Amino acid sequence: MKTIGVLTSGGDAPGMNAAIRAVVRTGCESGMKVMGIRRGYKGLIEGDMFEMNLRSVSDIIHRGGTMLYSARCPEFAESEVQDKAVEVCKEFGLDGIVAIGGDGTFMGARALTLKGVPCIGIPGTIDNDIASTSHTIGYDTALNTIMDMVDRVRDTTESHDRCSVIEVMGRNAGFLALNAGIAVGATCILVPEIDYDIDSYIIERMKRTMTTGKHHFIIIVAEGVKGIEVSSLAKYIEEKTGVESRATVLGHVQRGGSPSVRDRVIASKMGYHAVQLLKQDIGN
Ligand code: ADP
Ligand code: F6P
């Protein structure tokens, strides 16, 4: 392995920069040439890459987002487009690639590996939806951001004796909703992995809890829960319980911000380890 590439793809996640830094520093210290590929597989196909050195990754460990930018490139699922990427790798002399991203990015990395360009995937997504990985890069920061935002919503929810129905990200997975919900002491948490009867799970529970003197409620809903739209749910809760209700969609604020200690540390370790695996030809 003389020359390796590094890219970030799919939804960005806090800590991706720390992973890029570790890949570049480990690669350079091992005597490799390291190419930074811009905008994921899109940039790879276009040959949009540049040589990086120890200084290229200064001052990024604490920054959210990704200095290599990210993109969605749906056409990369097509075999001919992957062949084009293999040609570009030959042209630039790339012997292997470290691909940082979520499950879609991993599928692209697998396809490239099968076509002769060894890739190592680093799990980077706030959704935490990568098999065999307990904590993906960005998940911990996003959880802390959600917790902070919901704590703020709670202040006003409590002041007005209201119910807040809050939608959080996670694509088709409920990890963010579940653990953020536990951390904020939510009355109910809805995740896509479980089917719910709204009347028994939310309405009855709220009514029961109201008899104990509670007047404000936080309901966390994962965006992947099918057939539930938070503003309609808030209206329904108000109708059935009499508690004034509001809906909040947290949105892309969940993906930004400076990475937590945990994300910086796992990203640094994974970046280092990915280069070690390429050195040992494990991606092949
Ligand atoms: P994430 O990596 O966060 O899951 P996406 O699902 O958008 O985000 O995937 C990122 C990119 O990975 C896609 O834009 C595409 O370029 C590539 N990709 C996704 N699915 C496949 C697939 N089945 N085969 C090859 N590449 C894929
Ligand atoms: O995969 C990360 C993620 O933030 C998901 O939680 C969310 O469903 C999706 O990306 C949003 O994608 P976009 O930024 O393209 O709207």
Of 232, 223, 242, the C-alpha closest to 170 is 223
Q: Give the per-residue pLDDT at 284.
A: 59
Please tell me which residue in 103, 127, 140, 263 is annotated as part of the active site: 127
Supply the residue whose CA is at minimum distance from atom 2 of ligand 1: 102
Non-local (6+) Cβ contacts of 9 within 8 A are 40, 41, 70, 71, 72, 73, 99, 100, 101, 104, 105, 108
Neighbours of 283 (CB within 10 A): 21
> Which pLDDT belongs to residue 227?
93
- CA torsion 251-133-37-141 (nearest 10°) is 40
| Mean pLDDT (the chain, rounded) | 97
Q: What is the pLDDT of residue 283?
A: 66
Let me know if 140 is a catalytic residue.
no
Question: What is the C-alpha separation between 27 and 54, in angstroms, rounded?
Answer: 9
**Amino acid identity, residue 21?**
R
What does each C-alpha distance from 129 to 6, 103, 147, 260, 267 come to in angstroms?
A: 21, 7, 19, 19, 16
What is the percentage of the chain residues whose pLDDT exceeds 90?
98
Is the CB of residue 143 less than 8 Å from the CB of residue 176?
Answer: yes
Q: Can you give the pLDDT at residue 281? A: 80
Residue at 9: amino acid letter: S
Q: Which of 9, 39, 126, 250 to mutate to test the pocket of ligand 2 (most atoms within 8 A of CB)?
A: 126
* Predicted confidence (pLDDT) per residue in 213-268, tens digit: 999 999 999 999 999 999 999 999 999 999 999 999 999 999 999 999 999 999 99
- Is the pLDDT assigned to residue 183 strictly greater than 90? yes
pLDDT above 80 (res 95): yes
pLDDT band at residue 19, thresholds of 50, 70 and 90?
A: very high
DSSP H or E segment with residue 136 = none
